[in-house]
Amino acid sequence: MTQRAVFIDRDGTLSEEVGYINHPSRFRLFPYAGAAIKQLNKHGWLAIVTTNQAGVARGYFAEEMIATVHESMTFQLEQSGARLDAIYYCAHHPSVGEPPYRFDCDCRKPRPGLISRAAGDFKIDLSQSWMVGDRYSDVEVARNAGVKSALVLSGYGRGEWENQSSNWKHQPDLVAENLLEAVAAIVRQTSAD
Q: Which residues bind Zn ion (CB under 5 A)?
A: 90, 92, 105, 107-108
**Nearer CB in complex with Mg ion: 118/190:** 118
* Residue 107 C-beta: closest distance to Mg ion, Å: 15
What is d(CA 42, CA 88) in angstroms, rounded to the nearest whole number? 22
Instruction: Select the binding partner of residue 134 from Zn ion, Mg ion, none (C-beta < 5 to 8 A, by kind).
Output: Mg ion
Instruction: Select the binding partner of residue 105 from Mg ion, Zn ion, none (C-beta < 5 to 8 A, by kind).
Output: Zn ion
**Nearer CB in complex with Zn ion: 71/106:** 106
What is d(CA 168, CA 185) in angstroms, rounded to the nearest whole number? 23
8 A C-beta contact, residue 19 and residue 77: no
* Residue 7 C-beta: closest distance to Zn ion, Å: 15
Q: Is 125 a catalytic residue?
A: no
Instruction: Select the binding partner of residue 55 from Mg ion, Zn ion, none (C-beta < 5 to 8 A, by kind).
Output: none
Binding site for Mg ion (CB under 5 A): 9, 11-12, 134
Map residue 60 onto helix, strand or coil.
Answer: coil
**Nearer CB in complex with Mg ion: 39/50:** 50
Residue type, 35: A
Q: Is 193 a catalytic residue?
A: no
**Per DSSP, which regions of 15-169 are E strands?**
46-52, 86-90, 130-133, 148-152
What is d(CA 119, CA 127) in angstroms, rounded to the nearest whole number? 11
DSSP code for 11: B
Residues annotated as catalytic are 9, 11
